Amino acid sequence: MAHFYDRERELKDLGIVLEGEPNLVYFVYGPINSGKTSLIVKALNSLPKDMSPFYINFRGRDVSSTGEFMNCLFRIDKKSLIENVKEYISDLAREGTDALAKLTGIPIPKRIFDPIFKEKDKGDDAFLYLEEFFNGLVESGQRPVFVLDELQMIKKVSNAAGRPLLDKLFNFMVRMTKETHFCHCLAVTSDSTFVEEISGNARMEGRSRYFLVDDLEKDRAMNVYNEFGFKDKELVWNYIGGKIGDMVRLDVEIRLGISEKDGLNRMVKETANKLEDILEEANEGFLQIEHKGKKITLHADKIMEALDLFIHEDSVTKGGILPMYRKLLVEENILFLDPVNGVVYPHLFPLRMSFFNKRTKNIIIQERIVDITVSTFFMVDINDFGIGGFFQLRVI
């Protein structure tokens, strides 16, 4: 297994949550590639023997109907001929915890699954089975832990009567935690607009808690850089910050024989290109976003204004950016919105870099020097951006 770094604090907190009685539904959220999935899987793999994790990841799965949701949720047991849930659980228990502790979905005998699947409103019976199943595990001395990763994938699914599947799922999760205390329920997502919707959902108010898995702070990141063997740690910090997913990417570049600096530049380029595309579209007047059923045209200078905020600040309050522009930059994964704490910050440090590079272009073209507040100095290789040479920048 690949090496797992840091996250002691988060693992400890998760441990405290999981060793207690299930009382609340936990929403695990954080910037893209921050390591949410790895953290959860690590925690689930280290659970004591009397706990049974069920981990379902909707990434890359097509979940546009309740039937497809059920296919993801369940692992159909074709061998078992049992039709009674309690009997089935004692059967599984006899096989040992290994039969349960696989991170691949809820086991269900084919004979129970088929009739549920044929029902018009499949969801109701599926949740009844789950409740019976989790209850049965509790009675047999096991504590189930139910985890759904990439939960936003099912946000558009509704039943034949148009009722959202999420409402049913949330009711079920509240029932499993606050009401019956049968089972820990965790949902993971990096879609902050979705988290914003959930946090405004009255059904979940007072019944849920949010668990942020953020990119690492500087001192923790520096320690992980050491583990990866990165050399110019200040440079790495200025490019990718504490995003573990990006450290892994840089490590791959280096192992492929590319220098640390070139590897970082490659990663900057991706974000820079994306930002440039967005700005170009806005400049041409084609950049639109839908808001309350209306299409609104966005302007490049306003996008720049929003990004400018991060020249001097690490994060700004949610209200500090015009809602439409915030929505665009969050949806494009350029900014991360933490709706729980009401703040916005860049997903990637390269955002700053690319932004400074853009500036640099302007500076060079106009042959004048723009004053940027000082604290550290570093060099930006702008060869990759179509202009030769190096430029020295002063960055906050």
Ligand X SMILES: Nc1ncnc2c1ncn2[C@@H]1O[C@H](COP(=O)(O)OP(=O)(O)OP(=O)(O)O)[C@@H](O)[C@H]1O
In the complex, which residues of this chain contact ligand X (CB under 6 A)?
A: 2-7, 32-38, 190, 244-245, 248
The entry of ligand X, Mg ion, none near residue 5 (CB within 5 to 8 angstroms by kind) is: ligand X
Minimum Å distance from CB 136 to ligand X? Answer: 31
Instruction: Give the burial string for 267-295 (b: 16+ CB within 10 Å, else e).
Output: bbbebbebbeebbeebeeeebeeeeeeee
Contact with Mg ion (CB under 5 A) among 7, 25, 33, 37: 37
Residue 192 lies near Mg ion (rule: CB under 5 A):
no
Q: Which is nearest to 278 in space by CA: 297, 296, 305, 303? A: 303
One character per residue 138-177, x = contact with Mg ion (rule: CB under 5 A): ----------------------------------------
The entry of Mg ion, ligand X, none near residue 32 (CB within 5 to 8 angstroms by kind) is: ligand X
Tokens 């990866």, located at residue? 228
- In sequence order, the β-bridge partners of residue 106 are 74
Strand order in the sheet with 184-189: 51-57, 143-149, 184-189, 25-29, 208-212
The entry of Mg ion, ligand X, none near residue 357 (CB within 5 to 8 angstroms by kind) is: none
Minimum Å distance from CB 273 to Mg ion? Answer: 24
CB proximity list for 301: less than 8 A, separation 6 or greater: none
**Can you state the percent helix, strand and coil of the chain, rounding each to 5?**
50, 20, 30
Enclosing H/E stretch for 123: helix 122-139
* CB-CB contact of 350 with 267 (8 Å): yes
Interface segment toward Mg ion; rule CB under 5 A; list 31-39, 160-168, 203-211, 351-359 = 31-39
Minimum Å distance from CB 245 to ligand X? Answer: 3
Interface segment toward Mg ion; rule CB under 5 A; list 33-41, 47-55, 308-316, 323-331 = 33-41
Q: How many CB atoms lie within 10 A of CB 29?
A: 30
Q: How many CB atoms lie within 10 A of CB 132?
A: 16
The entry of ligand X, Mg ion, none near residue 180 (CB within 5 to 8 angstroms by kind) is: none
CB-wise, 62 or 227, nearer to ligand X? 227
Minimum Å distance from CB 180 to ligand X? Answer: 29
Minimum Å distance from CB 244 to Mg ion? Answer: 12
The entry of Mg ion, ligand X, none near residue 332 (CB within 5 to 8 angstroms by kind) is: none
* CB-CB contact of 189 with 151 (8 Å): yes
CA–CA separation, 337 vs 31, rounded Å? 8
Interface segment toward Mg ion; rule CB under 5 A; list 14-22, 34-42, 207-215, 336-344 = 34-42
Enclosing H/E stretch for 90: helix 85-94
What six digits make up the tokens of 201?
A: 């959902």
- In sequence order, the β-bridge partners of residue 273 are none
* CB-CB contact of 271 with 348 (8 Å): yes
CB-wise, 36 or 168, nearer to ligand X? 36
Minimum Å distance from CB 359 to Mg ion? Answer: 33
Minimum Å distance from CB 34 to ligand X? Answer: 4
The entry of ligand X, Mg ion, none near residue 38 (CB within 5 to 8 angstroms by kind) is: ligand X
CB-wise, 36 or 184, nearer to Mg ion? 36
Tokens 């900014």, located at residue? 335
CA–CA separation, 16 vs 37, rounded Å? 18
CB-wise, 136 or 346, nearer to ligand X? 346
| Strand, helix or coil for residue 151 | helix
Minimum Å distance from CB 14 to ligand X? Answer: 13
CB-wise, 41 or 224, nearer to Mg ion? 41
The entry of ligand X, Mg ion, none near residue 248 (CB within 5 to 8 angstroms by kind) is: ligand X
Enclosing H/E stretch for 111: helix 110-118
The entry of ligand X, Mg ion, none near residue 140 (CB within 5 to 8 angstroms by kind) is: none
CB-wise, 36 or 327, nearer to Mg ion? 36
For Mg ion, the binding residues (CB under 5 A) are 36-37
